[in-house]
Amino acid sequence: MFKKILIANRGEIALRVIRACKELDIGTVAVDSEADRDSLHVRFADEEVCIGPARAAESYLAPKRIIAACEVTGADAVHPGYGFLAENADFSEMCAASNLHFIGPTPEAIRAMGDKALAKKMMQRAGVPVVPGSDGVIDSFDAARAVAADVGYPLIVKASAGGGGRGMRLVKVPAELERAFSTASAEAQAAFGNGEVYIERFVLRPRHVEIQLLADNYGQIVHFGERDCTLQRRHQKLLEESPSPVMTPALRARMGDAAVLGAQHVGYRGAGTVEFLLDDRHEFYFMEMNTRIQVEHPVSEEQADVDLIKEQIRVAAGEPLGYTQEDIKWSGHTIECRVNAEDPERDFRPAPGTITSFHIPGGHGVRVDTHAYAGYVIPPHYDSMIAKLIVRGRSREEAIRKMRRALDEFIIEGIPTTIPFHRKVLDDADFVSGQFDTGFVERFLNRDTQSKPVKV
Ligand code: MV4
C-alpha cells in the first residue's frame, strides 16, 4: 500500500481524499495556492506545500510544481481528484517518470477516452451501443453532406477534442450544415488546437444516465449502478440521483454490462464513469467516458454502501477487487444537490466572498461534503461549488422529503447560493414525477410563475 499520498487538488474533494487516506493509514500531503491557505484541506492533511499563486495555471495546473512537492515530502502517490490535472495523460506520464503512482487509469486510456471520436469508435467495436453517425472524424464538407443524408436531421456536429458540451453544434435542417460544420471545426481548432469533428443523429429530449465503474489491475471490473444527471444547466450538473426515476432492473443490467464491456475493451483500470444518453424509448447510447472520480461519486457511495475513494486507492496500489458484480447491492434512493456560491437570481453568476454563518443540516440519512465553514472566504479564482448535500431514503419520495427538510436546515449567510433554487425544484410537479429530460432546468427557469408546490 502507498505510504504517503499527495492530493493534487483543493476544496471538498481534497478533503474527501484526505479522509479516505486517514482511514487507510496513509500519510497525506496537501498542496495549496496562496489563495487557499485557510482551506480545510490544509488543516486536515499531515503536511502542506504551498505550490504557487492563486492562478491555477501556476499552482494546481502546474505539473512540475506538484511533482516537486512530492519530491520534497517523499510522497509515493498522487491523487488528482477531479478537474485540474485529473484527465491529463502527460501529467500521469510525468508522475510515472518520477517514480510516482498516479491514482487513475493508464495514460493510454486517458488519451483514448479524451479523443471523443476515438472513444466512440472503441466503444462501438466493443459492442456498446452508440448514436448512429459518421464513422469517426469527418475531413471535408462533402463527406459531412454524405453522412448527413444518411443520418438525417436534426443532427449534431461534435468536436473530437471537446466533451462535456463544449464544441457542439445542433443542425436542424440541411441548409445549416455547411456553416455548422465550418464553425464547429474552427471553434474546436481555436479552443483545443484540434479542429476534428464528427456527426451524430441528435437524440431528442434525452436523459443523462451514467454508470460508475471500478477496475483492478487484473482485468476485474464491476459497476455500482447508475446516476441520473439529467438535471443540468448549460452542461453544469445541479442535482444527481440514483436510481434513475426511469430505470428498471433489466435496463440497469444491460447498461451496466455495456459499460463494463466497454471498459474491458480499453483495458481500463481504476475508477471511471461511462455516460449514456437515454431516450424516451429506453434506448441508450454511449456518450463519453470520464477517466476520473467525479463530483457526484457520493451518490453511488450511499446507494451501494461503498467508499469509492478508498476502493480507488486500493486498486491503484495493486490490490485485487476482492468481490464480484453479484456482491454489489444497492437499495433505497439517493439525491445530491450541488451547493454553489452563485446567484440563481442573476443567471447563476458566481458570487465569491465571505461566508458569515454556516450551519450544516444533519439527522438520519444526511451527508454534507464541504470544505467551507463560518468565516471562510471563497476565493474568486476557482469553481463555485462549496458543498454537496447528499440524502438517502428508502424511496424517492422519502429522499425528496428529506432533501427538502435538509435544504431548509442548511443556513449559509454572506453570499448567495443555489440552495433556494434546489428547494423550488424539489417542489416542482415535473421533478417530483421523475418525468423530465435535459431541457428541464431551462424550462423551469423560463416559467413566469412557479407551479404550486406539490406534495409527494
Ligand atoms: C448529444 C445530445 C443529443 N444527441 N448527442 C451534451 C454534453 C456532451 N457530453 C454531449 N451532449 C449531448 N450530446 C446526441 N447525439 C444532447 C446532448 C446534450 C446533453 C446531454 C446530457 C446532459 C445534458 C445535455 C444538454 C444539452 C445537450
pLDDT digits (tens, 9 = 90+) for 241-293: 999 999 999 999 999 999 999 999 999 999 999 999 999 999 999 999 999 99
CA distance 3 to 435: 48
- Tell which CATH architecture fits domain 132-201: 2-Layer Sandwich (3.30)
Q: Is 207-446 assigned to CATH 3.40.50.410?
A: no
Name which residue sits closest to atom 25 of ligand 1, judged by CA: 438
Reported pTM: 0.97
Name which residue sits closest to atom 6 of ligand 1, judged by CA: 165
Q: Is the pLDDT of residue 180 over 90?
A: yes
Least Cα distance to 36 among 53, 58, 17 occurs for 53
Which strand (E) or helix (H) includes residue 381?
none
Name which residue sits closest to atom 10 of ligand 1, judged by CA: 165
How far is ligand 1, taken at its centre, from the CA of residue 52, in Å? 36
How far is ligand 1, taken at its centre, from the CA of residue 53, in Å? 36
CA distance 440 to 419: 18
CA distance 166 to 163: 5
Q: Can you tell me which residue has the cell 454511449?
A: 286
Which of these is catalytic: 252, 292, 314, 396? 292
Cα dihedral 316, 317, 323, 327, rounded to 10, equals -50
> Tell me: the pLDDT tens digits for 106-154?
999 999 999 999 999 999 999 999 999 999 999 999 999 999 999 999 9
- Could you tell which of 229, 231, 286, 287 is best to mutate to test the pocket of ligand 1, judged by most ligand atoms within 8 Å of the CB? 287
Domain boundaries, the chain: 4-103, 132-201, 207-446
Could you please report the per-residue DSSP string of 85-143?
Answer: TTT-HHHHHHHHHTT-EESSS-HHHHHHHHSHHHHHHHHHHHT--B-SB-SS-B-SHHH
| Residue % of the chain over a pLDDT of 90 | 96
Name which residue sits closest to atom 15 of ligand 1, judged by CA: 202
Q: Relative to the CA of 133, which ligand 1 atom is closest?
A: 15
How far is ligand 1, taken at its centre, from the CA of residue 103, in Å? 29
| Residue % of the chain over a pLDDT of 70 | 99
Name which residue sits closest to atom 23 of ligand 1, judged by CA: 438
Cα–chain center distance at 125: 25
- Could you tell which of 158, 168, 204 is best to mutate to test the pocket of ligand 1, judged by most ligand atoms within 8 Å of the CB? 168
Candidates 3.90.198.10, 3.40.50.1220, 3.40.50.20, 3.40.50.300; CATH matching 4-103: 3.40.50.20
How far is ligand 1, taken at its centre, from the CA of residue 167, in Å? 11
> Tell me: the pLDDT tens digits for 64-84?
999 999 999 999 999 999 999
Q: Relative to the CA of 204, which ligand 1 atom is closest?
A: 3
Helix (H, G, I), strand (E, B), or coil: what is residue 449?
Answer: coil
Output the pLDDT for position 456: 79
Least Cα distance to 8 among 122, 95, 108, 116 occurs for 95
How far is ligand 1, taken at its centre, from the CA of residue 187, in Å? 18
How far is ligand 1, taken at its centre, from the CA of residue 203, in Å? 8
**Any catalytic annotation for residue 292?**
yes
φ, ψ of residue 153 to 5 degrees: the values are -120, 155
Q: Is the pLDDT of residue 366 over 70?
A: yes
Least Cα distance to 345 among 433, 198, 260, 445 occurs for 445
| Residue 54: CB atoms within 10 Å | 15
Contacts of 297 (CB under 8 A, 6+ apart): 212, 271, 308, 309
Tell me the average pLDDT of the chain. Answer: 97
Q: What's the maximum distance between 2 C-alpha atoms anywhere in the chain?
A: 62
> Tell me: the pLDDT tens digits for 5-41?
999 999 999 999 999 999 999 999 999 999 999 999 9
Contacts of 9 (CB under 8 A, 6+ apart): 17, 41, 60, 79, 80, 81, 82, 83, 84, 86
| Residue 377: CB atoms within 10 Å | 15
Contacts of 181 (CB under 8 A, 6+ apart): 138, 141, 144, 157, 169, 197
Name which residue sits closest to atom 5 of ligand 1, judged by CA: 202
Q: Relative to the CA of 287, which ligand 1 atom is closest?
A: 9
Q: Relative to the CA of 203, which ligand 1 atom is closest?
A: 4
- Could you tell which of 203, 231, 281 is best to mutate to test the pocket of ligand 1, judged by most ligand atoms within 8 Å of the CB? 203
How far is ligand 1, taken at its centre, from the CA of residue 371, in Å? 31
Name which residue sits closest to atom 24 of ligand 1, judged by CA: 438
- Could you tell which of 208, 230, 441 is best to mutate to test the pocket of ligand 1, judged by most ligand atoms within 8 Å of the CB? 208
> Tell me: the pLDDT tens digits for 376-416?
999 999 999 999 999 999 999 999 999 999 999 999 999 99
Which residue ranges have their beta carbon within 6 Å of ligand 1? 131, 156, 164-165, 200-203, 206, 208, 232, 235, 277, 287-288, 438
How far is ligand 1, taken at its centre, from the CA of residue 399, in Å? 27
Name which residue sits closest to atom 16 of ligand 1, judged by CA: 203
Q: Can you tell me which residue has the cell 519530491?
A: 71
